[in-house]
Structure 1
């Protein structure tokens, strides 16, 4: 996961593996669906979380 747009931004770029792990955890009910997900196919995608803190929790869970 790579943060985009500043130190406390909630916008992140995820690899395909990270995005699949996140969406799997969402399906399992472990996380709420992010505000926005823009898939870029096999490259991964961009994810807008509700907050920087939420993004950090996700990052710890899917690494």
Structure 2
């Protein structure tokens, strides 16, 4: 029984390793890139706390949605 469980887990490990190593990376879509104006605004700011605030504003506009455990 231990050998059966071991070999099943081993095959799953090898398969996921193979997929992760030999799958080509994919670039994120254009909707996830910073606009030129936001990027210039971020790069021109020198204070780290203001840069964090700019990034937080940009992140709020991203099309990413989360769900709670209850739906």
Give the TM-score, by structure 2 length.
0.24
Task: Identify, as 1 or 2, the structure richer in strand.
Answer: 1
Task: Identify, as 1 or 2, the structure richer in helix.
Answer: 2
Query: Which structure carries more relative contact order (alpha carbon 8 Å, separation 6+)?
Result: 1
Higher alpha-carbon Rg: 2
